[in-house]
Amino acid sequence: MKRRQGWLFFIIFLLTLSVYLLINYPLQLGLDLQGGSQLTLQIIKEEGKVTRDELEAVNSVIDKRVNNLGVSESNLQTLGGDQLILELPGEQNPLVASRVLGKTALLEFRTQKEGTSTDLKTLQLQRLNIKELIEQYSFAEKSQNDNNLNVIQDDLKDIEQELNYSFTSNDLYGKLIEIKKYVDKEITNLFNKTDLSGKDLINAGRRQEQTNSNWEVLLNFSNSGGEKFAEITKSIAGTNQLLAIILDGESISEASVGNQFVNTGITGGSATISGNFSAENARELEVQLKGGSLPLPIEIVETNTIGALLGSKNILKSLYAAISGLIFVGIFMIFNYRILGFVSVLSLLLYGFFNLALYSLIPVTLTLPGISGLILSIGMAVDANILIFERIREELNDGNTLTRSIDSGFMRANSSIVDGHITTLLSCFVLFLLGTNFVKGFAATLGIGVLISLFTSLNCSKTILRFFTTYQSLRQKNLYLPRNNFSN
Amino acid sequence: MKYNLELIKNKRRIIGFSTVLILFSLLGILYSTFNTSYKKPINLGMDFVGGNETRIERVCEEACSNFSPDTVLQNLREISKNKKVLNNIKLQFQNKNKLISIRTPYLSIEESNNLISNLDNIVGPLNYESKDSRLIGPKLGKKLLTNCVTSLVVSLFAISLYITIRFDKKYALFALLALFHDLLIVFGIFSWLGIILSVEVNSLFAVSLLTIAGYSVNDTVVIFDRIRENLKSKKEGYNETIQLSVNESFRRTTFTSITTLIPLLSIILFGSYSLFWFSLALSLGIAVGSYSSILLAPSLLLKD
């Protein structure tokens, strides 16, 4: 009896601790419950597997970019060796994040090959034409003006002939994008690589140009980077060769280096890219350059967005489902098992508290599938109680005393309960190992639930039951067995 | 209350009933593979094929006005910049015209935002706070599918291994037969749901199959344990002992299933729509699982 009293205090202690934990460390809610966006980024590697180092490197670049974007309370984690998951809580638009994060941001400095001035001029002119056509296209699409579209079609034909290019796309928009890529590539090919790259940057910034409303992006080189930059600019100063700044294979600026730099090159360790940036574009480029380039390209393969209102509705609905589940299970148990049923309801409540407290301790982020796992595990937690109570009932029917029946009921049901939960735990384990983020939540809560239920339904209900039976008035057999069970 | 299920008398009927259920499922799977537009054993949802699904509510003063999806789509075609987006588009109004659900092949975030703002121009104003949007790239979809199939195979293998170690051959075989029977029937029902109501399965469906597997085996294990225990001690005949054991554990098995079904029904009734089909699959699985544990698996053990 003394040992049981110890357990009683232990359980009360655990309950107090759980309540304390829940008050002080509120539960973390997943995006489907609080609203927000989630982006899944897939690292692309043509051959072989993504190594741990590469994953780390990508992770740190993305992390820097996210921080520089000024997204509040974002959460970045790796998933399954070659994916990253970024969560943006609240009403933050995932569009900007996706634009900034998706780019490799490989910055290169290249010098023009000798004798390519005419080629470059032609290409630059066509690039400008194409850019205008793309703008006209989106305008024409909006205004539903078919004449304009025909004009664009004709202009595009001219460019096609001029460049001697043949299209693979069929639709107009696809053709525009295709020829833009082609021209960008051709321009880049007119320049020689140098050993100066985005790696030589220590910082980046942006400012508005003085003469107009455009923005420019400032680059600050490291010491060695500054020397390389001086060297490169010196080599082409005063010639008609240009210096190109190339981002992800697309030249964003081509500039000549003046005659005055012919002796020293451009010193001072900084450079400016002024290529008609809007405030937004300049900021995005700044963020990308500050974070450095990605060692491997990434692709955004999944985006989930959930409005805040929907999130709070989901919480409410889950709460209704959980509470009504609990109430109906409680009614069912009390109806069939009387006092024993009441004991199982008490252990279920304990079970709920312990579960939630553990979620805030580990911590487990609660998501909708997670909640369904928790609700489902309520039903499974009662399973163990039913096994035990059925044994107790049998013992009582055989004419054993109450204390004896309770003791042997718990003892004999023990092994089959543990046994029966193994298969469920096996499934949870596999789900947790192989599942996606979404599925992991379910596996985690169901698994934790099954484990805790072993403690609550074996130990807690036994302790509570023992406590009840210390009262003489609660020891009548008919409180444990519905009447009709005596007949046989 | 004593239960008296006449297992021995009804052996043929039980096995016959299960055979009919299995044939019904196989028929659904075959029909779905050869006679539907998607040509798959089951209607794979966005999780597995990629795409874009957005659900959003309209802001309406009183009752929401009626729009036919076809007119809305036609309007969308007229004002959309990128026509490509509008291929294979599906649009539905639900919940008394209040909720719009729209499905397209994979779009970028930008394209999806444009689509919704175009929609806003036609049937708006829309309540962006109620938006629920998912974009899944086709590559990820394939990966998720492989992932789910692997999970299923691995965990079925683990469960089979556990059963084979724990029981001798005959019991293990029948327990596994009952398990595959349960999974096949749930799968078949969802094949039919896909054919008739275009219900799609996503990764949560795979999760429900796995959970059903764990749970259903659990029930069978308990009954087989009882049979084994009784066969050792009782003096009645083999078949009678099996029938007695089933009746002894009948109450326990149905009760545990009921207490598991109650919370699932609460999710179906009160929970979020995204958990509806998941909970339904689980409920079906648990119901079929109890049937096969109580009636089918022991019947298979009976000698003629």
Q: Which of A145-154, B171-180, B260-269 has the lowest mean pLDDT?
A: A145-154
The answer to whether residue B142 neighbours chain A at the CB level (below 8 Å) is no
* CB-CB under 8 Å, A304 with B128: no
Q: Which candidate from B129, B256, B269 shows the least CB-CB separation from A383?
A: B256
Average pLDDT for residues B258-280, to the nearest whole number?
91
Kindly list the residues from chain B whose CB atom is less than 8 angstroms away from the CB atom of residue A386.
Answer: 252, 255-256, 259
Kindly list the residues from chain B whose CB atom is less than 8 angstroms away from the CB atom of residue A301.
Answer: 136-137, 139-140
B 22-51 near A (Cβ less than 8 A): none
Dist. CA B12–CA A436, nearest whole Å: 43
* CB-CB under 8 Å, B139 with A426: no
* CB-CB under 8 Å, A304 with B222: no
The neighbour count for residue A161, using CB atoms within 10 Å, is: 9
Q: Which candidate from B129, B213, B260 shows the least CB-CB separation from A379?
A: B260
* CB-CB under 8 Å, B155 with A427: yes
pLDDT 10s digits, B53-70 = 888 888 887 777 777 788
Q: Which ranges of chain A have pLDDT less than 50?
A: 485-488
pLDDT 10s digits, A75-128 = 888 877 788 888 888 766 788 788 788 788 888 889 888 888 888 888 888 888
* CB-CB under 8 Å, A386 with B214: no
Dist. CA A135–CA A132, nearest whole Å: 5
Smallest CA–CA distance from A436 into chain B, residue: B144
Smallest CA–CA distance from A94 into chain B, residue: B109
* CB-CB under 8 Å, A378 with B263: yes
pLDDT at A482 (0 to 100): 65
* CB-CB under 8 Å, B272 with A40: no
Contact of A30 with A365, CB cutoff 8 Å:
yes
* CB-CB under 8 Å, B252 with A303: no
Contact of B92 with B101, CB cutoff 8 Å:
yes
| Residue of B121, B272, B286, B293 best to disrupt the A interface, most CBs of A under 10 A | B272
Give yes or no for residue B16 having a pLDDT over 90. Answer: yes
In the predicted model, what is the mean pLDDT of chain B?
87
The answer to whether residue B157 neighbours chain A at the CB level (below 8 Å) is no
pLDDT at B6 (0 to 100): 87
Dist. CA A198–CA A221, nearest whole Å: 9
Nearest to A175 by CA among A130, A231, A112: A130
Q: DSSP letter string over A198-267?
A: GGGEEEEEEEE-SSSS-EEEEEEE-HHHHHHHHHHHHHHTTSS-EEEEEETTEEEEEEE--GGGTTT-S-
* CB-CB under 8 Å, B207 with A369: yes
* More confidently predicted of B3 and B32: B32
Q: Is the peptide bond prior to A482 cis by the omega test (within 30 degrees of 0)?
A: no
pLDDT at A141 (0 to 100): 66
pLDDT at A486 (0 to 100): 44
Kindly list the residues from chain B whose CB atom is less than 8 angstroms away from the CB atom of residue A307.
Answer: 56, 127-132
The answer to whether residue B125 neighbours chain A at the CB level (below 8 Å) is no
* More confidently predicted of A205 and B289: B289
E strand or H helix that includes residue A303: strand A298-306
Q: Which candidate from B112, B218, B264 shows the least CB-CB separation from A423?
A: B218
* CB-CB under 8 Å, B136 with A302: yes
Give the closest-approach CA distance of B156 to chain A in angstroms. 8
pLDDT at A2 (0 to 100): 56
Smallest CA–CA distance from A397 into chain B, residue: B1
Give yes or no for residue B177 having a pLDDT over 90. Answer: yes
Kindly list the residues from chain A whose CB atom is less than 8 angstroms away from the CB atom of residue B251.
Answer: 390
Give the closest-approach CA distance of B29 to chain A in angstroms. 25
Length of chain A equals: 488
* CB-CB under 8 Å, A420 with B83: no
The neighbour count for residue B274, using CB atoms within 10 Å, is: 18
Give the closest-approach CA distance of B256 to chain A in angstroms. 5
The answer to whether residue B214 neighbours chain A at the CB level (below 8 Å) is yes
The answer to whether residue B127 neighbours chain A at the CB level (below 8 Å) is yes
Smallest CA–CA distance from A329 into chain B, residue: B259
Smallest CA–CA distance from A173 into chain B, residue: B82
Q: What SS3 class is residue A455?
A: helix
ipTM above 0.90, yes or no: no
* CB-CB under 8 Å, A427 with B133: no
pLDDT 10s digits, B118-162 = 888 787 788 888 888 888 888 888 888 888 888 888 888 888 888
Q: How many CB pairs under 8 A join A and B?
A: 223
* CB-CB under 8 Å, A484 with B1: yes
Q: Is the peptide bond prior to B125 cis by the omega test (within 30 degrees of 0)?
A: yes
Predicted structure pTM score: 0.81
Burial state string for B75-102 with b = 16 or more CB within 10 A and e = fewer than 16: bbeeebbbeebeeebebebeeeeebbbb
Give the pLDDT band (50/70/90) at residue B258.
Answer: very high
Dist. CA B143–CA A81, nearest whole Å: 13
